[in-house]
Amino acid sequence: MTAGLVHISGSGEPIDVLIPAVDKDAGTLPHTIDSIRSMVRHPIGTIYVVSPDSPRIRAICARKGCVFVNERLIEPLPKSRIRYRSKRWERSGWLYQQLLKLSGDRLVRRRHFLVMDADTVLIRPHRFRIDGKTVFYYRRWSQPEYFRTYRRLTGRRRKAKVSFVAHYMLFDRHKLYRFKAMLEARHGKPWYRAIIDSIDRTRNFGFSEYETYGNMVYGENPSAVKLLPARNLHLRRGASSLTPAERRRYARNYRSLSFHKRGVYSRGQRRIARKKRPLKSRRRRASK
């Protein structure tokens, strides 16, 4: 599954890469990095891995030749100041990571940079700039609340009939800067606060950085965007368990594989389990 540290050059313009990660991503992250180097048909500049101060993530960066960046260096506000949760789910860290991605223009050096989810692995070649157009990979379904938040943020309806939540996206530093400046002018507050205040935080899925940025770029000039189907598949297994033969087989139909661990967003499971255990023990005692 790994491709080492070999750069496979493409004919496209050079790009940087930003990968937000946490410890739960440590099993997939090395494969994510390798897949970028083997499957992205652009010269790769610097791969930045943005993470809490994690020894595991630091070790992966050292082994894979990436730049480790403590997330606090680019965070627009501390994670502790984000409150996005209910009794059933916890989305504060999820939202925080999206804000980190939108802060990538503070870190990267090249105009275009690829933001990649740490739990997703590319299995077919990708180009993100073709004939002067930005390539957005898309899927057919999304969360309706993403578009309601987009309209509250921008005052615009989405023009695209597809979803841009494909687990990776090419960002343009100049367009991202203008987008955040527009939010601040429209809402009279920092861009990240405009986002947070526009979210209906009673909803589990209230905001998407990919959906928001993608619709902004597409809405300004659809002819400057090339749309390609994402063809992503979620697998309930570890990335390391995937054999080369399985990878080739999946690549016949899919462009990327994701190894999500969404259970970390749930709350109250331990409390519920503790309540159930005494009942089970009583039943065992009664059956003796």
Six token digits for residue 147: 């578009």
How many Cβ atoms sit within 10 Å of the Cβ of residue 201? 17
Question: What's the full length of the chain, in residues?
Answer: 288
φ and ψ at residue 120, rounded to 5 degrees: -120, 140
Residue that has been written with the tokens 């899919």 in this structure = 254
Six token digits for residue 19: 């990968």
Residue 1 has pLDDT above 50, yes or no: no
Separation of alpha carbons 60 and 240, rounded Å: 14
pTM (two decimals)? 0.86
**pLDDT of res. 11:** 55
**Strand partners for 171:** 113
Tens digit of each residue's pLDDT (9 = 90 or more) over 72-95: 999 999 999 999 988 888 999 999
pLDDT (average), residues 157-162: 94
Nearest CA-CA partner of 32 in 158, 125, 118, 134: 118
* 256-258 and 225-229 strand pairing: unpaired
Handedness of CA 159, 140, 183, 86 (dihedral sign): positive
Tens digit of each residue's pLDDT (9 = 90 or more) over 180-232: 999 999 999 999 999 999 999 998 899 999 999 999 999 999 999 999 999 99
Q: Are 19 and 29 in contact (CB under 8 A)?
A: yes
**pLDDT of res. 265:** 52
Residue 29 has pLDDT above 90, yes or no: yes
- Residues 11-48 as b or e (16 or more Cβ within 10 Å = b): ebeebbbbbbbbeebbbbbbbbbbbbbbbbebebebbb
Separation of alpha carbons 69 and 75, rounded Å: 11
pLDDT band at 271 (very low <50, low <70, confident <90, very high): very low
Residue 3 has pLDDT above 50, yes or no: no
Residue 5 has pLDDT above 70, yes or no: no
DSSP one-letter string for 75-91: -SS-GGG---B-SSBB-
CB-based contacts of 279-283 (< 8 A; 24+ apart in sequence): none
DSSP one-letter string for the chain: ---TT-----SS--EEEEEE--GGGTTTHHHHHHHHHHHB-S-EEEEEEEESS-HHHHHHHHHHT-EEEEGGGT-SS-GGG---B-SSBB-HHHHHHHHHHTTGGGT--SSEEEEE-TTEEE-S-B-SEETTEEEEEEBS---HHHHHHHHHHHS-----SSB--SSEEEEEHHHHHHHHHHHHHHHTS-HHHHHHHHS-TTSSS---HHHHHHHHHHHH-GGGEEEEE--EEE-SS-GGG--HHHHHHHHTT-SEEE---GGGGB-SHHHHHHHHHHHHHHHHHHH-
